[in-house]
Amino acid sequence: MSTGKTYDPFVGLQLVSEMWEKQLNGLLYKLTDNKEFVQTANIGLDVYSRYLERFRKNQELIAALMNIPTKKDIANAAKMSIQAEEKIDNLEEQIWSLQDGLNLANKGNLEMFQEMVRIVKQLQTEFQTIAQEVSETKIMKADLQEIRQGLFNMKIIQVNLQELRKEIDGLKSLKSDSQTVPAAAMKTVIEKEKPKQKKEQEKKQNKELVLTGAEPSKKL
Amino acid sequence: MSTNALGINMSPQIKREAKRWNQLYKIMTEPKPDIVPTPRECVWKRNKTTLWFHPAKEKRYETPIFLVYSLLNKVYILDVGEGSSVVGGLTELGYDVYLLDWGSPGLEDRELTLDNYIVDYLENAVKRALRHSRANDITMAGYCLGGTTAAIITSITKLPIKNLVLAAVPIDFSIGIVPDKWLEGIQKGQLSFDRFAEAHETLPSEFLYLMFRMLSPIYGSPKINLFTRAHDEKYVEKWRRMDKWTKDTASFAGAAFKQLFNDFYKDNKLLKGELLIGGRKVELKNIKCPLFVFSCSRDNLILEQQSLPVMELVSSEDKTYKVFEGGHVSLALTGAFAGIMDPWLSAHSKEILKVQHN
């Protein structure tokens, strides 16, 4: 009876080879899994290594005698370039840390400048309010000066009134004297005294003006 | 039945066979394929190490991924070409990816230790990636031995690592796929690679290829698989890329090789919390970030038991462990790594908020 499948010899070959491979590897595994093999392998490795070392040593010796650079010489030169590369790498890393430090400092500076700008802005607004207050104070000062001037004028009036009062008092005393001294003699005395009194009054007035110390303020 | 240019009628079977042998002939005669990487830019270079940045096609997550692969491999294990690339898969899913290419050390790098690789290269690369991405934190994702280095760096660094993803990672080195007596020999000092590493100074890539081959000396299955499926063009394309990667191993610095064998395989210092890297003690309990660990059910290089101890050793409260169907190498070379990682990672990465314009 046919299954409809064609015979593929490679599939069979694959199965057989896999089986053989496993079995042969298993056999080799068992053959080598013993102390004797390990010891022999170690001796073999040692002998090989000893001869390799001797061969290399002789090769170096001959090359040195003939002044021929060996692979070791080239390797040593290459090692120096590797060391230089490592140094450059380390320098690059140091530059990185510097860059990072600078970036951090810049960040700090930026924050500081931002704070400064904020403070300056705050100061600006404060200055504006102060300036407004100063202008208001100036107006108040001008008002106060006006009041002062008014007071000064009132003082002059007061002085004048005092003078007038004195004159009235003088007139009152004259009136009482006139009742005792003849009127004609009194009249001459009064006429003589009048200009004198006037002068004295003027002097006094000037003196008082100076003494009060209320000089008119200098205009700003 | 179809007719070819010569007017000969061809049955589908004959057509398939013709294609199979034609493809096989091509593989034998043509040079190995070029590996075209996912669009990338170089962010940093030191010695042989390069940090690549692969931008997301359409960025969806703010947290970038930093990929670390094994020091024993070549970089394109994680970026093997369109359709099979882990990096390509992740960029398509909306992640920015940083990939550290360890390079292949030369004789001048013979004194490089794991301390140099982890502190001087890996930690600096993560620092550079963080600076380049301007991200607040990063996801570390390590594959195989790259997972071990990713776990080490996460436990000793102060850099902001948001998540840790470990794929097929060896943490416990006291067990492995090699015969028990070999491991016992290494642990007791009966089998030492110290003199071998010192004699070579920098281990050639050929030796590392041989070392991998020694793990499974009879290795015919890839070629048999190719014969079986050679009529499938897509499979052949993927096979050729995988074949190129398998034979293209990296060299290894002698000092790092010695340290790997002595500190990890011999003394198992990572598990014991006795490992010192760059003067800093490596204690996995220092890992506090969310952790996602996964193993593969058919992994023939790293056993599940080697990865599991990490779950107990870390202090992370948010930790997940899963086992997925697949093999160790296929996890990376098929791009499956990206698909497995995405559901967990998308929930643990900061998503970019889109501003809607009316």
pLDDT value, residue B14 = 84
Query: Under DSSP, is residue B258 helix (H, G, I), strand (E, B) or coil?
Result: helix
How big is the A-B interface in CB pairs under 8 Å?
A: 103
Q: A45–B182: do the CB atoms touch at under 8 Å? A: no
Residue A53 lies in a domain: yes
- Evaluate if residue B2 carries a pLDDT over 70: no
- Contact of B218 with chain A, judged by CB distance below 8 Å, is answered with yes
Burial of A152 (0-12, 13-18, 19+ CB in 10 A): middle
Give the pLDDT score at A1. 46
Alpha-carbon span B84 to B65, nearest angstrom = 18
Instruction: Please give, rounded to a whole number of angstroms, the shortest distance from the CA of B201 to a CA of chain A.
Output: 10
Structure tokens given for B284: 């996995």
Q: Does B298 touch chain A (CB under 8 A)?
A: no
Q: Residue B97 in contact with residue B125, Cβ under 8 Å?
A: no
Backbone angles phi, psi at B3, to 5 degrees: -115, 135
> Å from A38 to nearest chain B CA?
6
CB contact, 8 Å: A72 with chain B? Answer: yes
What is the nearest CA distance from A123 to chain B, expressed in angstroms? 40
Question: What ipTM, to 2 d.p.?
Answer: 0.83
Task: Write out chain B residues lying below 8 Å of A84, CB-based.
Answer: none
Confirm whether B356 is domain-assigned: no
Please report whether residue A34 resides in a domain: yes
pLDDT (0 to 100) of residue A107:
92
- Decide: B45 and B37 in contact? Cβ < 8 Å: no
Nearest to B98 by CA among B145, B70, B131, B147: B131
Domain count of chain A? 1
Answer whether residue A218 shows pLDDT above 50.
no
DSSP-derived secondary structure letter, B61: B
The shortest CB-CB distance from A45 to any of B106, B193, B218 is to B193
By the 8 A CB rule, do A173 and A127 touch?
Answer: no
Average predicted confidence (pLDDT) for chain B: 91
At B221 the pLDDT is 84
- Model confidence at B277, pLDDT cuts 50, 70, 90, reads very high
Q: Is residue B2 a part of any domain in this protein?
A: no
3-state helix, strand, coil in chain B (%, to 5): 45, 15, 40
Give B231's contacts (C-beta < 8 A, 6+ positions apart): B16, B17, B19, B20, B23
Tokens of A156: 């002059």
| B210 shares contact with chain A (CB less than 8 Å) | no
Task: Report the number of distinct structural domains present in chain B.
Answer: 1
- Judge: A17–B221 Cβ closer than 8 Å, yes or no: yes
Is B195 in contact with A45 (Cβ distance < 8 A)? yes
At A167-207, the pLDDT tens digits run: 999 999 888 877 766 666 666 766 776 777 777 777 766 66
Average pLDDT score over residue span A98-104? 93
Contact A41 B227 (CB under 8 A): no
What is the pLDDT of chain A when averaged over all its residues?
86
The answer to the question of residue B184 being in a domain is yes
Domain contains A45: yes
Nearest CA in chain A to B177: A29
Chain A hits for B159, CB-CB cut-off 8 Å, are none
| Share above pLDDT 90 across residues of chain B, in percent, rounded to a whole number | 68
Q: Which residues pair with B324 in a beta bridge?
A: B296
Q: Is B110 helix (H, G, I), strand (E, B) or coil?
A: coil
Strand B49-54 to strand B65-68: parallel, antiparallel, or no bridges (unpaired)? unpaired
Would residue A186 count as lying in a domain?
A: no
**For residue A119, what pLDDT is reported?**
95
Higher pLDDT, residue B289 or A184: B289
A70-85 residue pLDDT tens: 999 999 999 999 999 9
Domain that holds residue A24: 10-68
pLDDT classification of A220: cutoffs 50, 70, 90: very low
Measured distance between the N- and C-terminal CA atoms of chain A, rounded to whole angstroms: 133
Mean pLDDT lowest for which of A65-74, B39-48, B211-220, B276-285? B211-220
B120 interaction partners in chain A (CB closer than 8 Å)? 86
Sorted by sequence, the CB contacts under 8 Å of residue B159 that are 6+ apart come out as: B123, B126, B127, B130, B138
> Mean pLDDT across the stretch B257-266?
94
**pLDDT at residue B138 above 50?**
yes
Structure tokens at B217: 């000396």
CA B356, chain centre distance (Å): 39
- B171-222 confidence digits (pLDDT tens): 999 999 889 999 999 999 999 999 999 999 999 999 889 988 888 888 888 8
* Chain A contact for B108 (CB, 8 A cutoff): yes
Binned at pLDDT 50, 70 and 90, residue B94 comes out as very high
For residue B149, what are its two tokens?
């280095």
Residue B135 within any structural domain of the chain: yes
Catalytic residue among B144, B263, B296, B348: B144
Residue A218: inside a domain: no
Are A11 and B228 inside 8 Å of each other by CB? yes
Contact residues on chain A for B216, CB-CB shorter than 8 A:
21, 25
User: Which domain does B265 fall in, by range?
Assistant: 31-282+292-348
Q: In chain B, what residues touch A34 (CB-CB under 8 Å)?
A: 181
Neighbours of B79 (CB within 10 A): 29
Q: Please indicate, yes or no, if residue B330 is contained in any of the structural domains.
A: yes
Whole-number pLDDT of residue A66: 93
Q: Which tokens go with B168?
A: 């097929």
Chain B nearest-CA residue for A6 = B13
Reply yes or no on whether the pLDDT at A213 is more than 60. no
CA B41 – CA B52 distance, rounded (Å): 6
Quick one: pLDDT at residue B303?
92
- Asked whether residue A219 is domain-assigned, the answer is no
Contact call for residues B142 and B87 (beta carbons, < 8 A): no
Give which of B207, B203, B205, B194 is closest to B109, Cα–Cα.
B203
Token representation of residue B342: 């995405």
| Beta strand residue intervals within chain B, DSSP E | 2-3, 9-10, 41-46, 49-54, 65-68, 97-101, 138-143, 161-167, 202-203, 252-253, 276-277, 280-281, 291-296, 319-324
* CATH, residue B297: 3.40.50.1820
Residue with tokens 């191993």: B249
3-state SS assignment for residue B31? coil
Task: Let me know if residue A85 belongs to a domain.
Answer: no
In a domain, A190, yes or no: no
Residue A50 Cα, gap to closest chain B Cα (Å): 7
Alpha carbon of A109: minimum distance to chain B alpha carbons (Å)? 23
Query: What's the pLDDT band for B50 if we cut at 50, 70, 90?
Result: very high
Residue B21 falls inside a structural domain: no
What is the structure's pLDDT at B317?
94
Interior CA angle at A188 toward A185 and A192, to 5°? 140
- Tell whether A20 is within 8 A of chain B (Cβ): yes
Instruction: Tell me the per-residue pLDDT of A123-133, one tens digit each, with 9 for 90 and over.
Output: 999 999 999 99
B328 belongs to the catalytic site? yes
Q: Indicate if B231 belongs to the active site.
A: no
Establish whether B289 is a catalytic residue. Answer: no
| Region B19-24 average pLDDT | 88
Rounded distance between C-alpha atoms, residue A170 and residue A83, angstroms: 123
Q: Provide the pLDDT for residue B334.
A: 86
Q: Which secondary structure element, helix H or strand E, spans residue A118, and what is its range?
A: helix A71-178
Mean pLDDT of B229-258: 89
d(CA B230, CA B7): 25
